[in-house]
Amino acid sequence: MKFNKAFAAVAIILLALSYQGFAASPIHNTDTIITVPLGGNSWRTDKDTLGGNISNDGIVNWTNPNAEYTAYVRFAKKGTVKLRLNLKVPAGESILSVTAANQTKQLLVTGADFKDHYVGEWTVNDTGYIAFKIKAQNKSGAVYADINNMKLTGDAIDKHTAYVKDNEGDFFYWGRRGPSVHLSYIYPEKENIEWFYNEVTVPKKNDVLGSYFMACGFGEGYFGMQVNSSTERHILFSVWSPFKTDDPKKIPDDQKIKMLKKGENVHTGEFGNEGSGGQSYLLYNWKAGNTYKFLINAKPGADKYTTYTAWFFAPEEGHWRLIASFSRPNTNTYLKHLHSFLENFEPEQGTHARKVQFNNAWIGDGNGKWTELNKAKFTIDNTGAKGYRMDYSGGVDGKSFYLRNCGFFNNYTPRNTPLERPFADGVPNVIVDKLP
């Protein structure tokens, strides 16, 4: 396809400016250079999905003129930053634009082999995340460009600049999902804890697709609520098998989780990929802004089996529902390692912030004694601990703990921060003898 005259004129000007900018901005041996792989640090951020996508190799198959790709980098110091895009154009020439910090720069690119193309220089006026938006302006070939990475240099770059550095350990996947955040509750470890009660509120507009708001976590499983699609939501309760595998088919029969009973309309089965075990879920259209109650019971038996049972209370219904009861072999324990967490399990949703409040956590023994959990430690997963993503926080809202992650916000909570919320108004209103 031939250029029209207007395109050709713009192309010549941009080509000259591109060469002039590159010559005026060489990389010196003393410069700090970072390579930001787009496979782990970028998303397609327009509303369409056709004509271009993100793979482990970066931006590929880009044919849609309306496609927009956004890469995020967190800067720990102010200064200037120069950007080069490592890309190829399979045929013809393309004009692209990059917008960051309210400034847009264009470049003309050509060449069927990957090479670095200088884009321009920006000023980083404050610490925190900067979004680099890559868009198409025009092309003469079928594909705008395949873009592998961004190379950044300048005095705003240092060892604390945060981004997903490589795909070792499948971190392009984990990095695009974003950091998971946790509350590790502090309580008397020597008590025989049979009950764990918690209340969960997802603030309005925080019920983002791919979110798991996990209320009651313990050493052998977890219980909470998910946003699975635009029309489907789950109340999910799972217990891991003591046999370590990601494939439930490999679990020997004598180490499988046994389902003892389940509630009405509850689905049960097996799960894998992050350990394996027994899983149950209720399809329930819970609402952001409402507060839901979760209750777990653990009873160790004389036969080296421990039984875990979960109940769920929705204010719309006004009564407790049984979710499921599972028996775990080779286990003789009460509830331990109590925690809550917030995660995003959909990589494409890693650009959206979400928040959850845990309002009223308690533990109970077998004699009817309840103890409030008003102290916790804020922790993060390996994506946050490695400094690949730093959009995570936890703290106290009124009488509630909160967790927040994803969305590339700037104010983060340091790992292992101790938290303490005010005591609530009273013990949980649960009559355990009348639970279904």
Q: In terms of DSSP H, where are the helices of 148-193?
A: 171-177
Strand partners, 181: 342, 380
| Per-residue pLDDT tens over the stretch 303-321 | 899 999 999 999 999 999 9
The residue that leads in pLDDT, 273 or 249, is 249
Strand partners, 298: 308
Q: What is the pLDDT of residue 210?
A: 98
Mean of pLDDT over the chain = 92
Q: What is the pLDDT of residue 21?
A: 39
Calpha distance 110→95 (Å, rounded): 9
User: Domains plus CATH for the chain?
Assistant: 5-163 (2.60.120.260), 176-434 (2.60.120.200)
Q: Measured at the alpha carbon of residue 426, what is the angle toward residues 424 and 428, in degrees to the nearest 5? A: 105
Q: What is the pLDDT of residue 23?
A: 36
Question: Side chain identity at 283, as an amino acid letter?
Answer: L
pLDDT band at 245 (very low <50, low <70, confident <90, very high): confident
With H, G, I as helix, E, B as strand and everything else as coil, classify residue 284.
coil
Asked whether the predicted pLDDT for residue 19 surpasses 50, the reply is no
| Per-residue pLDDT tens over the stretch 70-101 | 999 999 999 999 999 999 999 999 999 999 99
Asked whether the predicted pLDDT for residue 398 surpasses 80, the reply is yes
Q: Which residues fall within 8 angstroms of residue 420, CB to CB, at 6 or more apart?
A: 374, 375, 376, 396
| Per-residue pLDDT tens over the stretch 374-397 | 999 999 999 999 999 999 999 999
Q: Which residue has the tokens 């331990």?
A: 336
Q: Write phi, then psi, for 129 (nearest 5 degrees).
A: -80, 140
CA distances from 223 to 198, 283, 348, 396 (A): 10, 14, 24, 22
Range name among 267-276, 293-302, 313-322 with the lowest pLDDT average:
267-276
Q: What is the pLDDT of residue 275?
A: 67
Q: What is the pTM of this model?
A: 0.92
pLDDT band at 246 (very low <50, low <70, confident <90, very high): confident
Asked whether the predicted pLDDT for residue 17 surpasses 70, the reply is no
Q: What mean pLDDT comes out for the span 160-170?
A: 97
Asked whether the predicted pLDDT for residue 18 surpasses 50, the reply is no
